[in-house]
Chains A and B, each alone.
Chain A
Amino acid sequence: MNKTRFSRGALFTALAAAILLWACGSNNAAPADDTAAATETETPAASGFAIEEVQVNSPLNAEWVAAGKSMYEMKCQSCHKLTDEKLVGPGWKDITKRRTPGWIVAMTTNPDEMLQKDPDAQKLLEECLVKMPNQNVSKEEAMQLLEFMRQNDGAK
C-alpha cells in the first residue's frame, strides 16, 4: 500500500500557509499594473525566477558595507538578526554561504515575485509564515546590503 498520509503538523502548516496566502491576497494576486486590471490570479510559473548573476567585490567595498549597514538598520533589522537566531525571518549569519549573491539580490529587491516563483523562497515562507515584505530596495542598495552581509560572514 502506498497511501499518502498527512501528519497533523503538515496539515497545520498547509492550513496556515493557505490562510497566509489568502490574507495577503492583495499583494499576492498580482495587483494590476500600469495597463489594465488583472483579470484573475496569475498561476505561478512551474519553476524559477530569472535570477541574475551578480559579481562580488574582492576586497570588500568599505563604502558599500557602511551604506548596507545603515540600510539594514532602517529596513531589515526589525526581522533579521545578524546571528543565526531566527526572529521573524532567518538570522543572517552565514546567509552568503547558504545562498548565491544573485539569489540574495533577487530576494531583497523583488520578494513578491520570488515568493511566487522561487522554490527556496517558498520553503522559507513555510518556515517563517510571514511573507517577507517588499521594502522598496533598489538593485544598488541590495548590492550594498549584500556587501554588509558578506562582511558579517567574515569576508574581507
Chain B
Amino acid sequence: MKRFTSRLFLATAAAATLAGGLHSCKPKGGATSTASADAASKVYVAPGKYDEFYNVVSGGFNGQIGIYGIPSGRLLRIVPVFSVSTESGYGFSEETKPLLNTSHGEVPWDDLHHIALSQTNGEHDGRWAFANGNNTPRLARIDLSTFRTSEILEIPNSAGNHASPFITQNSEYIVAATRFSVPLDDQNGDVPINTYKDNFKGSISFVSINQQSGEMNIAFQIRTPGLNFDLSRAGKGKSHGWFFFSCYNSEKANTLLEVNASARDKDFVMAVNWKKAEEYVKAGRAKKQAVNYAHNVYDENTHTATSTMKKEVLVLDPTEFPDLLYMIPCPKSPHGTDTDPTGEYIVASGKLAATIPVFSFTKMQEAIANKSFEGNYDGIPVLKYDAVLHGEVQKPGLGPLHTEFDGRGNAYTSMFVSSEIVKWDIKTLKVLDRVPTYYSIGHLSVPGGPTTKPHGKYMVAYNKITKDRYLPTGPELTQSAQLYDISGEKMKLLLDFPTTGEPHYAEALPAALIKDKQRKIFKIEENTHPFAAKGEGQAKVERKGNQVHVWMTAIRSHLTPDNIEGIKVGDEVYFHVTNLEQDWDVPHGFAIKGANTAEILVMPGETQTLKWKAEKVGIFPFYCTDFCSALHQEMQGYLRVSPAGSSVALHFSTGTNKAAPADTSAVKP
C-alpha cells in the first residue's frame, strides 16, 4: 500500500504541474516559445485514468531507471538497477547482493545511459528492458512484468560500456562496445599509457538473449582497432543482420582527446555483418580467450540472485575475416548513429559537423560488392564516402547528436549546441521545422522511435541544462525533460516534466502492451526460498555458531516472532522475513534499530533477508515500515541482546509472555 507521504507528494506534484501549466512562466532571457493554448488538455490525465505510454528513462549517474507516464510526465516508479537502494533493500538484502557482484567485487553504483526494449519483428513486445552500466562495464535486464532487475552481466575486455545495449529486431542480440580501448584482460596491463597505439584494443560484445527466459550470454566478441565506440543501432528490415557503430578517436590519441581526437576530418561509422560473424562462430572459427567476469541472475521462486564467475569468451579477429567489418567515413567525431524504420538509411551525427550525413544501406551493399574502397584502417576496408552517401542535411543546426523517427518519412535530430530539435525529410533531406529546447538537448525519444513502427504522436527531449525552468533548489537542479506533439506538420511543445538522475536515452512503449501483464503477487506456494516461513507455524529462530537465523512472517498486522531473546553481542542475526499476504499492493517493510545497512521491503509471497550485527547490549525494537493497515503502528517487536557469553537461552514468541529461560544470569547484580 502507498504510504501517506507518497500520496501527499503525488497530489502536491499533480497540483503543482497543473498550476505550472496555467502559470506558464517565460524564462527570463530565455527563448520565447511557450506551450500552445491547448497543451494542458493534451497532457492532462484525469484522476484515476491512465497514461497512454510507459516511458522507460535511463537515470544516468543515479544508476536507476525511472518509469514515467506519457503524456502526463508523472513519475510511476524508480527501478534500482546498478545502484543500491536503501528504500527497498536492493543491494543490501542477502538475496539481492549477488546482483551487484563483479570481477572487482561488489560494485554498488554505475552510470546507466541507454535503454533497449525487447523487440519481435522490429516492434516492441513488452518483455524486457535492457540497460548498460557505463563505468564498470555491465548489462542489466529488467523484467517488464515486475519492473525489477532480473539479471546483470559483466562485460570483459571493456572499459566504459557506452555503445550499448542496442538491440536487434527479434531480440537476437544486444551489444556492448567499449568506449575506452584498453589492454585486453589476458595481457599485462602494466604498460606506459603512451603505448596506446600498440597495446590498446577495442572490443564489441554480441550478447545473445534466451527468448524464453531472457537470460543474457556473451555469444562472441569482435576485436577491433583501438577506437572509441560511442553509439550504435542495429539494422532492421532490409538491413537486418547488420549493426552500425559510431567511433571517434580514429587518431588513437591517449591524452587531451578534446583536441587530439578531433584532428582528422573524418572518423568512422563501423558496419558489422553480424550474421556473418554468427556463421564464423558456428563454424568454430572463433578463438577462446581467458577472462573473468560475473553473471548474476535473480530467481523469482527462490527470491534470490546467484552470481557465477565465467572464465572464457569467444573472439573473432576481423583481420582473419575480411567480410566482417567495413568502415564508413563520417565527418567529425560522430555521436549518434540511427537507422530509419525501413532500415535503408543510416543517420550519423558528427558532433562538430555542419551537416548530417545520411548513408544508404543499398548503396553500401553495392559499394562492398564493387569494392569501392578508399583504403583500409588497420586492415579493415574503408568504403568511399560518396559511394555510400544518400546525401547530407544542409545547415541543420549546431551539434547534431541523435535522431529518432515518426514512421511517416520524417527524422528528428537533437542539436546540442543550438539547443533545438530539427525535423527533416529522410528522402529529400530538406529541413521542415525546428523547435527550441530548454536547454541544450542530449537524447530525444519518440515512443517506438527506434522500431520499424514508431508511434509518431509524441516526442520527448532530455535536456542537459535546466537553468531557470523550475523553482530553483540551490546549486543542484532537477533534470529537464520536455514533451512535444509531433502529430502535425509543426512540432508543438506541450509539457515540461522533471526527471531524476541525469537521463540519457529513453524508450517508450504503449501501455496496453504490458499493463495487464503485471505481476501482482508472488504465490506463497511457489516460494522455494530456503529460509521461507510459509505460515506462522514455520516461524522459528535457530543458532548456528554466532549466526542466528530468524524465520519471520509478516501479515497485517503482526510479525512472528515478535519477542526474541538470547541474542549475544557479536552475533550475526539474519532476519528472513516472509510476507504471507497474497493480495496486490500489500508489501511489508522491516527495519531494526541500529541497522547500518537499510530496511527491506518484502512483496506479498516473497522472502527477503536483512543481516544485522549485534554490537551492543540492550533492547532493539523492530517494526513494519510500510503502512499496511489500521494497526500498522502496532506491527512491531523487540530483540534482546545480552553480553557475549551470557547464558540467556535462545527464545522466541508471539502472543505469549514468557521470559527467556535462565534469564536471571543476564541481570547484573
Chain A positions within 8 Å of B, measured between CB atoms, are: 16, 19-20, 23-24, 26-27, 31-32, 34, 36-40, 73-75, 77-79, 87-88, 129-131, 133-137
Contact = CB atoms under 8 A, between A and B. Distances in A.
- The secondary-structure label for the interface of chain A is loop
Interface of B: 1-2, 46, 48-50, 516, 521, 523-525, 534-538, 553, 555-558, 560, 580-586, 627, 629-632, 655
A74 B525 contact: yes
Contact of A23 (B49, B560, B627): B627
Given A20-B629, A79-B555, A133-B582, A74 B535 contact: yes
Considering residues B1, B555, B585, which has the most beta carbons from chain A within 10 angstroms of its beta carbon? B555
Contacts of A36: 49-50
A75 B630 contact: no
Contacts of B655: 87
Contacts of B557: 88, 130
Contact of B630 (A27, A37, A79, A129): A129
11 contacts: A23-B627, A23-B630, A26-B2, A32-B48, A32-B50, A39-B48, A75-B580, A77-B536, A88-B557, A133-B583, A134-B583
A28 B584 CA distance: 12
Contacts of A136: 521, 523, 582-583
B556 A130 contact: yes
Nearest to B629: A130
A75 B579 CA distance: 10
A32 B47 CA distance: 12
Given A78-B553, A79-B556, 9 more contacts: A23-B1, A23-B629, A23-B630, A32-B50, A37-B50, A74-B524, A75-B580, A88-B557, A133-B556
Considering residues B556, B584, B632, which has the most beta carbons from chain A within 10 angstroms of its beta carbon? B556
Contacts of A39: 46, 48-49
Contacts of A74: 524-525, 534-535, 580
A26 B586 CA distance: 10
B49 A37 contact: yes
- The secondary-structure label for the interface of chain B is loop
B48 A88 contact: no
Contact of B583 (A27, A87, A130): A27
A37 B632 CA distance: 28
A79 B556 CA distance: 9
B630 A20 contact: yes
Nearest to B2: A26
Nearest to B539: A78
Given A32-B48, A130-B630, A78 B586 contact: no
B528 to A, nearest CB: 14
Given A26-B585, A130-B556, A19 B48 contact: no
B582 A75 contact: yes
Contacts of B582: 75, 133-137
Contacts of A129: 630-631
A78 B50 contact: no
A27 B586 CA distance: 9
Contacts of A79: 555-556
Contacts of B631: 129-130
